[in-house]
Structure 1
């Protein structure tokens, strides 16, 4: 019991430290942080509100011009309006048998609010990701209701200290190394995974019920034993009292 209490106190203390330390390390980031080269992926810009007296009211995301993406589709975010801007490519690219001469260069969200102490995710479906790069660097501008603009555009240097306002980065890895972060349009695989997850949940539920049933049965058994032992004790006490009275007589 003392060990359990000590663990609880330690956990609460650690949680408190993280709570107070969180805002100092919070910044605009890409979730998940990795995707497969040459594939398609669904990512999200995670935007925390770092101010106590102002709300985030605008997010501007500029894509990497060195590695243009011909397809960038934002998912609707309740309360927010989104605008997608495109620019002409110096060299058209071929995709699905078509020649594409423009790519998305900027995505802007406005109209909503991220209140103090909260964060918001802005999902995007992006592709086709480059095969000749190890990362995609985005630049994000976060505008607050007090007109303050935080520019998340600083490059991060390998092995160096993290800059004050690092630019969001999507790491690009070889096929099969992204841990399922990519979106490969494989509906059959998705259905299989969904069925597997459902089966796992059913199995877990059955095991939980079995465990609960076992615990309930054990509790009832112990209760019955306790009653029997208590009754035996009372009977023994009554019998002992009678013997003492008979001896005294």
Structure 2
């Protein structure tokens, strides 16, 4: 085999392997309980969506508890119903009074607990989304951490409460979190509403399979692999000598 051809094949193989490793890493990361926010602007309200995969191969997820912040409390929390899951919002006294939008707040929602009936527990290779509407969000640049406990039917409790430190490797069970951004020009939240426990009228979809996230990661890996392969083929063509006319 010509040296140039051998180098080309090695390059293509390395590119394909790298793409596969990236896809595997993306799939592993998506297995964590995490939170997404549709608008993290300070001083406003946001919808938080917790994506919860069931990682056990033998037990189902039957309960989820999200702890809300007390140092930068939300004055309003409402729950989007999930079929087969009962949600309970707990309001507690704050460790110390907090001034929010000019008002002194001494109590605030401190946790939300979802509990499933037997027919709607999250099984292996499945996930469920749990949504909250919260506000008022704290000052821009604040990291809002939401420690979460996931309970399985075999009694196992997985606590997603480890702090993620920038520049360091992600911990095994990172706490869901997000960072607030600058205020919107028309951000609401000038007034401080009372803590809410009402539920929104629409229902979230029933538990589905978590293969959607894995499939996306797989397609990303496949695309990267094809790009690497194309690069290798192009290099091979360039190394072949041209025929003499």
TM-score range, shorter chain: 0.5 to 0.7
Identify the residue that residue 92 of structure 2 maps to in structure 1: 87
Structure 1 distance, partners of 2:122, 2:99, is 38
Residues 104-123 of structure 1 aligned to structure 2 (within 5 Å): 104-111=109-116, 112-123=120-131
Residues 135-214 of structure 1 aligned to structure 2 (within 5 Å): 135-176=143-184
Q: Note the C-alpha offset of 1:25.
A: 4.8
Residues 70-81 of structure 1 aligned to structure 2 (within 5 Å): 70-81=75-86
User: Could you say if the C-alpha distance between residues 80 and 16 of structure 1 is closer, same or farther in structure 2, counting changes exceeding 3 Å?
Assistant: farther
Is the contact between residue 42 and residue 183 of structure 1 (CA under 8 Å) also seen in structure 2?
Answer: no
Is the contact between residue 75 and residue 136 of structure 2 (CA under 8 Å) also seen in structure 1?
Answer: yes
Is the contact between residue 61 and residue 140 of structure 1 (CA under 8 Å) also seen in structure 2?
Answer: yes
Structure 1 segments unaligned to the other structure (5+ residues): 1-10, 186-249
Q: Aligned pairs, how many?
A: 170
Q: Note the C-alpha offset of 1:37.
A: 1.1
Structure 1 distance, partners of 2:27, 2:179, is 23
User: Could you say if the C-alpha distance between residues 156 and 125 of structure 1 is closer, same or farther in structure 2, counting changes exceeding 3 Å?
Assistant: same
- Tell me which moved more, 65-74 or 136-145: 65-74
Q: Note the C-alpha offset of 1:94.
A: 5.6
Structure 2 distance, partners of 1:53, 1:45, is 22
Identify the residue that residue 218 of structure 1 maps to in structure 2: none
Comparing both structures, which one devotes a greater share of its residues to helix?
1
Matched, 1:124 2:129: no
Structure 2 distance, partners of 1:64, 1:24, is 24
User: Could you say if the C-alpha distance between residues 157 and 23 of structure 1 is closer, same or farther in structure 2, counting changes exceeding 3 Å?
Assistant: closer
Higher relative contact order (CA 8 A, sep 6+): 2
User: Could you say if the C-alpha distance between residues 23 and 144 of structure 1 is closer, same or farther in structure 2, counting changes exceeding 3 Å?
Assistant: farther
Alignment RMSD: 3.3
Q: Note the C-alpha offset of 1:142.
A: 0.3
Alignment TM-score, normalising by the size of structure 1: 0.59
Is the contact between residue 81 and residue 110 of structure 1 (CA under 8 Å) also seen in structure 2?
Answer: yes
Is the contact between residue 75 and residue 124 of structure 1 (CA under 8 Å) also seen in structure 2?
Answer: yes
Is the contact between residue 92 and residue 102 of structure 1 (CA under 8 Å) also seen in structure 2?
Answer: no
SS in 2 for 1:22: helix
Is the contact between residue 43 and residue 124 of structure 1 (CA under 8 Å) also seen in structure 2?
Answer: yes
Matched, 1:39 2:44: yes
User: Could you say if the C-alpha distance between residues 37 and 92 of structure 1 is closer, same or farther in structure 2, counting changes exceeding 3 Å?
Assistant: closer
Larger Cα Rg: Structure 1 or Structure 2?
A: 1
Find 1:55's aligned residue among 35, 44, 60: 60
Alignment TM-score, normalising by the size of structure 2: 0.60
